[in-house]
Structure 1
């Protein structure tokens, strides 16, 4: 993403208009947890707001039921060819996206792009968008199992290890519960942080993760079984964050020279051993800052830093913000502190009588008796 793109002003939404309508395209073997993580925040947004902010439909290629990766069969609301007034299209992937994406999927997604839809994905759904040529030069997230194969198949896609990525009119999330975080961020952008916070409270979700949070990619997945000494050294590092082990001592533990150790890290992890060790310590510090009441001095100590100023300097250089700002919630990347994702907004035609009914309307009607109904006042 270029600096101009990341800092562009966000389009203003007409929040008094019709609900935003999303179409969730379900690929064969999609993961049910990712779909639920994406839809449930929308349901709760409607409930807390007391009105229909979002409407959604599940779609398949032919309108026939599709099986999730856990074997459950899901009956969609419609075929992807059903004329619907969509603002967002979200591709839901799962196991084997290489075999689930058809030419018809590709052509349909390209047609949605021409109509200026917001395009997104969860789990491995970004494979479909990439195959349609719709993620070239966009920052993109995908489940870590597909990172290597996707990079090889689509070299123009800017792959990241972030839990989710929001780049202009594209939004992509890795698997599991990451779509929940992405949707909470999108809802917060559209309707305010109070609503996003209210949803996380209803889901007993302790912390809404942001675009800086990364997937924990198992090193064994990156290296395979070909570098047992390197895996052993990293395991030693991870077990000794409070009292870091000297590099010479690490090398002796696995019976290699320091030069060999440095070559292994440069070749397979693309950095020096000391840099990798620092990254582990700083990542642990970030977790403690966000998830515990420990003081910054205590965190510096348990992460192996000899002084608080040195810890703060290293933290700011690596994450772009000082530890104090991170704890206060000002953890945006440098250059983006006051910018919101610059989305393209297109309002479609009003829903017609020919459109299938959305489950959002029934869910909202069912929620009217809940004590939280309309509990968040939207000042828009």
Structure 2
């Protein structure tokens, strides 16, 4: 039986130090989900197992993506060897990553105990070269742009990844699961479970859990052949598969597949597939510096004019105007 983490053993335990770097427009829930387990671990143990501080470039207050301004403890500074840096990202993460931030991350990586990131913070540590040869994760909405920027980095679809002294969590409540895992590794599962209870976190997920809901849940239909076809579509955006081949792969005729999509998704397989491809195209236009032509190719369009026509039909604007709008000052 594991010892009660609340019992005073008389042995002084040095608090583990976390330093949270808040990037402009960071996601507040991801930050809170990482800090609260530390606070509650101290409360449940009856002693200071952890301490934490917040920093920003220049030490100025940082505004979260929901508009809440957060006062930080100080600017980027020199840390001790026992510190763990957690970069907290959010929306428009590329504009929030500055040269001083990258310089600081590279310098501190040579001495701190570990570096991690939650939500889109992985973009910053990858850009600093600190994920080379490592596995990581990032919020699913930023997956396409991350893979384009860092094709050599192994990106996981799971909610968090621990690769030696690199910790990444996908955002949202995934940061809580990551921190509960770190607490369990250092102080035992009993304490981690007590913290989860305090947070009304009824199920502690593991690094094997995927970020997104299952396809049947997402599309609201539990039909195995339909789910299989949708998965095949999602896995083959750059080189689309014809509806005839999709139907053959699940043992149906093209007409049967057509009826299946119209009955459950109110659109043809071709239309559904097109919307998936255009949604990825929009993410790439808004989140990367890829040219419009390369975005078109990455989403299975051989002709830029056809891509533009299809894009306008769905989003009521052209890819070029979409790109221009995303670059306009707010």
Where on the TM-score scale, by shorter chain, does this alignment land: which range? Answer: 0.5 to 0.7
Q: Does 1:248 align with 2:231?
A: no
Structure 1 distance, partners of 2:130, 2:82, is 17
Q: Of 210, 222, 231, which residue of structure 2 is paired with 1:239?
A: 222
Partner of 1:57: 53
Matches within 5 A, 1:252-263: 252-255=255-258
CA displacement 1:167-213 (0-9 Å, x = unmatched): 00000000110000000011000000000011111111111000000
| Structure 2 gap segments, 5+ residues each | 1-10, 229-246, 260-268, 278-330
Q: Is residue 123–residue 146 contact of structure 2 (8 Å, CA) maintained in 1?
A: yes
* Partner Cα separation in structure 1 for residue 253 and residue 55 of structure 2: 53
- Indicate the structure whose relative CO is greater, using CA pairs within 8 Å and at least 6 residues apart: 1
Aligned Cα RMSD in Å?
3.0
Question: CA–CA distance in 2 between the matches of 1:157 and 1:94?
Answer: 20
Specify which of 85, 89, 97 is matched with residue 93 of structure 1. Answer: 89
SS for the counterpart of 1:254 is: helix
Contact 2:37/2:195 (8 A) holds in 1: yes
Instruction: Compute the displacement of 1:217 (Å).
Output: 6.8
Q: Which runs of 4+ in 1 moved over 2 A?
A: 82-86, 241-256
Contact 1:23 1:86 in 2 (8 A): no
> Is contact 2:81-2:112 (8 Å) kept?
no
- Return the match for 1:36 from 10, 32, 38: 32
Deviations 1:350-374 (A, max 9, x none): xxxxxxxxxxxxxxxxxxxxxxxxx
Instruction: Give secondary structure in 1 for the equivalent of 2:108.
Output: helix
CA–CA distance in structure 2, aligned partners of residues 206 and 182 of structure 1: 15
Give the TM-score, by structure 2 length.
Answer: 0.65
TM-score, structure 1 as length reference? 0.56
Q: What is the CA distance between 1:240 and its match in structure 2? A: 1.9
Query: 1 CA distance for matches of 2:46 and 2:219?
Result: 50
Query: Does 2:198 correspond to 1:194?
Result: no
Number of positions where the alignment pairs a residue of Structure 1 with one of Structure 2:
233
Name the CA distance, whole Å, in 1 between partners of 2:152 and 2:17. 30
Q: Which has the higher mean CA deviation after the structures are superposed, 50-59 or 75-84?
A: 75-84
User: Among residues 98, 103, 110, which one is paired with 1:107 in the alignment?
Assistant: 103
Secondary structure of 2:158's counterpart equals coil
Aligned twin of 2:77: 81
